[in-house]
């Protein structure tokens, strides 16, 4: 197509062709833009047809019961009890594998799981229709690149209360509550686990087997997690460091899938 | 073949013009300066966002009781620091623990704060907003207050196209304004461009500076953005270990970020705790006040040897780093007309 001074520029044609897509103006000549747009449209419809929705459900529990925040006191043993006020953590970089073969990787995969918001516990994944998988991998926390990428929105927005203000970095995992085991002010315990700078990286990679290919259910039993801690001495970790790393490892180890 | 070329040309045209949204002011990288650190692709400059950031910078709405704004500790006439205050003052008359840094040329910053605790300009404002000695609020509540304000909710809608303000929008617009605070029109810059000549004293001072100071205060930004221990004795009322607080590593004990020397005439007092009032005191420290320690900057092991005349020359040179156009630039000042215009529209 030679340059033509009387016809509109390519840029103008692009806008006119957008009108054509809307059914407003069909008179205009078939141009490269149409081809590109049709290809894109075809590609996107065929793409969505090949996908199915599966539910990835996170279940924070205490002694096999769904976790209830605030009002409920749970028995730790004969004499001690515990109450939880906050449980929030980031799940990122979700991928599904058939043995060692990658079959699905979620784009822009950052999710804030908040025990106080039921909706946040279920993550819908759009995976290929034919995909068979037996393993799920994800991160507990936020990777170092994202940690140095400036202000980010939605689940990564700093209004979510999962970003440190006195020193840059995401809080990967936050658990707060109180227990008579803690000889602290108001018997409180606070675990704000994070840190992306070497040698204090607190991100943990989790790999779990999965049984069903239409839904995935992952438990986080807080009773088992607390059984690995001594609340009388470990009750406040709010900065990156070895303590945070150690507790992050313990937390990551308690994520359990529905497969025995 | 021709068709192919025209298709490619078309795609290029669409890329260059098709996705351009309203006015994108070019970021002015002064001639001979390194490329900025800030990734403008993630937050492209936009005049509406800059002006919104400027309003936020000057608005005490960012503090718990609407008493403190950014400019409380970063006023333009002192090159955006707190003149005469060794330690920054915050909410309820509380006093902070460090000297507020002068704000300029932030696009080239690799980290922020005296200890580099903040890794990105976008995230910097979270610290003063949340610090109980400074603004004592939190970003969630700030967003709530801005959303409730008819003026700000409209401004965020026009700037970002969002009805629901997020923390990231607040931080990005503050970044946009702060990024525009470029100081590059000092006598030093004009000398470098060949427009004017230094006096003899300034020239001698410049040579001494290059000899003794420029490895840390690297031209043209007058900082190497590294952390150094410059031999200050530890103030036992503050016990500030500097960079070590961030890295938890003993090799970083008593190290602080090398500050820029641009506009140093306006930014007294000096050092992370504002312990020196005058440039003369600063130079005396380097000449005879260095406290030896294991983390002391290598080139300061023997101090800096300057005669009284040489000292005067160095000061003469340092004064060439003053940029009056910067401290009086009306684009950086209190956005009176924006506040008035928007108030009128809200009535």
Give the CATH number of domain B187-325; options: 1.20.1080.10, 1.10.760.10, 3.40.50.280, 1.20.140.10: 1.10.760.10
Closest residue to B119, CB basis, from A148, A152, A156 = A148
> How much of chain B is in helix, strand and coil states, percent to nearest 5?
50, 5, 50
User: Which residues have a Cβ under 8 Å from the Cβ of A93 and sit 6 or more positions away?
Assistant: A105, A106, A109, A137, A138, A139, A143
The reply to whether A37 falls in a domain is yes
Which chain A positions have a beta carbon within 8 Å of B129's beta carbon?
165
Q: Which domain holds residue A18?
A: 10-47
Count Cα atoms within 13 angstroms, Cβ side, for B31: 7
Cα–Cα–Cα angle for A65, A174, B39, nearest 5°?
135
What is d(CA B220, CA B215) in angstroms, rounded to the nearest whole number? Answer: 12
Report how far apart the first and last C-alpha atoms of chain A are (Å, whole number).
65
Distance of CA B190 to the CA centre of its chain: 22
What is the structure's pLDDT at A6? 39
Tell whether A168 and A205 lie within a shared domain. Answer: yes
Burial class of B302 by CB neighbour count within 10 A (0 to 12, 13 to 18, 19+): exposed
User: Which residues have a Cβ under 8 Å from the Cβ of A118 and sit 6 or more positions away?
Assistant: none
**Superfamily name with CATH number, domain B40-182:** Cytochrome c-like domain (1.10.760.10)
Tell whether A38 and A148 lie within a shared domain. Answer: no
Distance of CA A144 to the CA centre of its chain: 15
What is the structure's pLDDT at B83? 80
User: Which residues have a Cβ under 8 Å from the Cβ of A103 and sit 6 or more positions away?
Assistant: A96, A97, A127, A128, A131, A132, A133
| Residues B151-196 pLDDT 10s | 999 999 999 999 999 999 999 999 999 999 999 999 999 999 999 9
User: Which residues have a Cβ under 8 Å from the Cβ of B160 and sit 6 or more positions away?
Assistant: B49, B169, B173
| Residues A192-245 pLDDT 10s | 999 999 999 999 999 999 988 889 999 999 999 999 999 999 999 999 999 999
How far CA B90 is from CA of B83, B98, B126, in Å, comes to 14, 11, 15
Domain count, chain A: 2
> How many C-beta atoms lie closer than 10 Å to residue A171's C-beta?
24
- CB-based contact B135:B129 (threshold 8 Å): yes
- Locate the chain B residue with the closest alpha carbon to A151: B168
Asked whether the CA dihedral B313, B317, B322, B325 is positive or negative, the reply is positive
Which chain B positions have a beta carbon within 8 Å of A2's beta carbon?
2
Tell whether A144 and A26 lie within a shared domain. Answer: no
The reply to whether A4 falls in a domain is no
Interface membership of A65 toward B (CB under 8 Å): no
Least confidently predicted of A163-172, B3-12, B214-223 = B3-12
User: Which residues have a Cβ under 8 Å from the Cβ of A40 and sit 6 or more positions away?
Assistant: none
- Give the confidence band of A13 by pLDDT, cuts at 50, 70, 90: very low
The reply to whether A247 falls in a domain is yes
Residue in this structure with the two tokens 């995992």, named with its chain if needed: A173
Q: Do B7 and A166 touch (CB under 8 A)?
A: no
Burial class of B1 by CB neighbour count within 10 A (0 to 12, 13 to 18, 19+): exposed
What is d(CA A77, CA B149) in angstroms, rounded to the nearest whole number? Answer: 51
| Residues B69-117 pLDDT 10s | 999 999 999 999 988 788 888 888 888 889 999 999 999 999 999 999 9
The crossing angle, in degrees rounded to 10, of helices B150-160 and B47-58 is 150
Q: Do B143 and A159 touch (CB under 8 A)?
A: yes
What is d(CA A225, CA A205) in angstroms, rounded to the nearest whole number? Answer: 17
Main-chain phi, psi angles of A74, to 5 degrees: -105, 145
Domain ranges of chain B: 40-182, 187-325
Cα–Cα–Cα angle for B273, B215, B193, nearest 5°?
105
**Closest to B53 in 3D by CA, of B41, B69, B66:** B69
Tell whether A114 and A230 lie within a shared domain. Answer: yes
Tell whether A141 and A231 lie within a shared domain. Answer: yes
- CB-based contact A200:A246 (threshold 8 Å): no
What is the structure's pLDDT at A36? 61
Tell whether A27 and A62 lie within a shared domain. Answer: no
Which chain B positions have a beta carbon within 8 Å of A10's beta carbon?
6, 9-10, 13-14
What six digits make up the tokens of B333? 């000042």
The helix/strand/coil state of B244 is: helix
Which chain B positions have a beta carbon within 8 Å of A13's beta carbon?
10
What is the structure's pLDDT at A104? 95
Q: What is the mean pLDDT of chain B?
A: 93
């Amino acid at each position: 197509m030679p340059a033509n001074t009387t016809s509109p520029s390519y840029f103008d044609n692009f806008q006119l062709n957008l009108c054509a897509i809307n059914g407003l103006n069909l008179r205009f000549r078939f141009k490269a833009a149409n081809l590109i747009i049709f290809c894109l449209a075809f590609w996107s419809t065929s793409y969505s047809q090949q996908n199915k929705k599966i539910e990835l459900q996170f279940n924070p529990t205490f002694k096999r019961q769904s976790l209830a925040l605030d009002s409920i006191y749970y028995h730790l043993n004969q004499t001690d009890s515990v109450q939880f006020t906050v449980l929030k953590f980031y799940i990122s970089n979700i991928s599904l594998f058939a043995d060692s073969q990658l079959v699905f990787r979620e784009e822009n995969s950052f999710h804030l799981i908040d025990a106080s918001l039921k909706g946040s516990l279920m993550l819908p994944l759009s995976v290929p229709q034919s995909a068979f998988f037996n393993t799920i991998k994800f991160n507990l926390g936020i990777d170092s690149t994202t940690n140095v990428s400036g202000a980010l929105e939605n689940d990564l927005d700093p209004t979510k209360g999962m970003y440190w203000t006195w020193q840059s970095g995401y809080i990967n995992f936050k658990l707060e509550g109180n227990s008579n085991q803690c000889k602290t002010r108001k018997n409180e315990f606070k675990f704000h686990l994070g840190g992306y700078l070497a040698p204090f990286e607190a991100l943990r990679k989790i790999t779990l087997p999965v049984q069903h290919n239409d839904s995935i259910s992952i438990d986080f039993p807080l009773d088992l997690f607390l059984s690995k801690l001594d609340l009388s001495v470990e009750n406040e970790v709010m900065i990156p460091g070895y303590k945070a790393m150690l507790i992050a490892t313990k937390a990551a180890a308690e994520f359990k899938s529905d497969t025995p | 073949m021709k068709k192919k070329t025209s298709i490619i040309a078309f795609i290029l045209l669409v890329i260059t013009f098709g996705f351009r949204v309203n006015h994108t002011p070019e970021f002015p990288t002064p001639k001979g300066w390194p490329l900025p650190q800030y990734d403008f692709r993630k937050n492209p400059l936009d005049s509406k966002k800059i002006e919104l950031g400027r309003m936020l910078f000057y608005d005490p709405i960012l503090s718990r009781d609407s008493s403190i704004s950014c400019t409380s500790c970063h006023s333009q006439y002192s090159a955006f620091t707190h003149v005469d205050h060794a330690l920054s003052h915050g909410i309820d008359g509380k006093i902070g623990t460090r000297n507020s840094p002068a704000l300029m040329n932030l696009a080239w910053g690799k980290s922020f704060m005296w200890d580099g605790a903040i890794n990105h300009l976008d995230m910097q404002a979270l610290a003063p907003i949340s610090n109980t000695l400074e603004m004592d609020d939190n970003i969630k509540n700030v967003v709530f207050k801005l959303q409730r304000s008819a003026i700000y909710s409209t401004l965020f809608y026009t700037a970002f196209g969002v009805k629901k303000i997020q923390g990231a929008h607040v931080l990005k617009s503050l970044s946009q304004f702060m990024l525009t605070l470029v100081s590059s029109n000092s006598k030093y810059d004009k000398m470098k461009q060949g427009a004017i000549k230094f006096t003899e004293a300034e020239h001698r001072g410049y040579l001494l500076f290059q000899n003794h100071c420029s490895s840390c205060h690297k031209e043209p930004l007058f900082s190497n953005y590294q952390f150094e221990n410059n031999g200050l004795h530890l103030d036992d009322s503050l016990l500030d270990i500097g960079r070590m607080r961030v890295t938890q590593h003993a090799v970083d004990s008593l190290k602080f970020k090398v500050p820029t020397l641009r506009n140093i005439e306006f930014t007294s007092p000096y050092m992370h705790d504002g312990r020196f009032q005058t440039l003369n005191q600063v130079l005396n420290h380097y000449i005879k006040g260095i406290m030896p320690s294991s983390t002391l900057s290598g080139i300061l092991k023997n101090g800096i040897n300057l005669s009284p005349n040489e000292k005067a020359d160095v000061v003469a040179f340092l004064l060439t780093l003053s940029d009056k156009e910067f401290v009086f630039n009306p684009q950086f000042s209190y956005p009176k007309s924006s506040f008035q215009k928007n108030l009128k529209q809200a009535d």
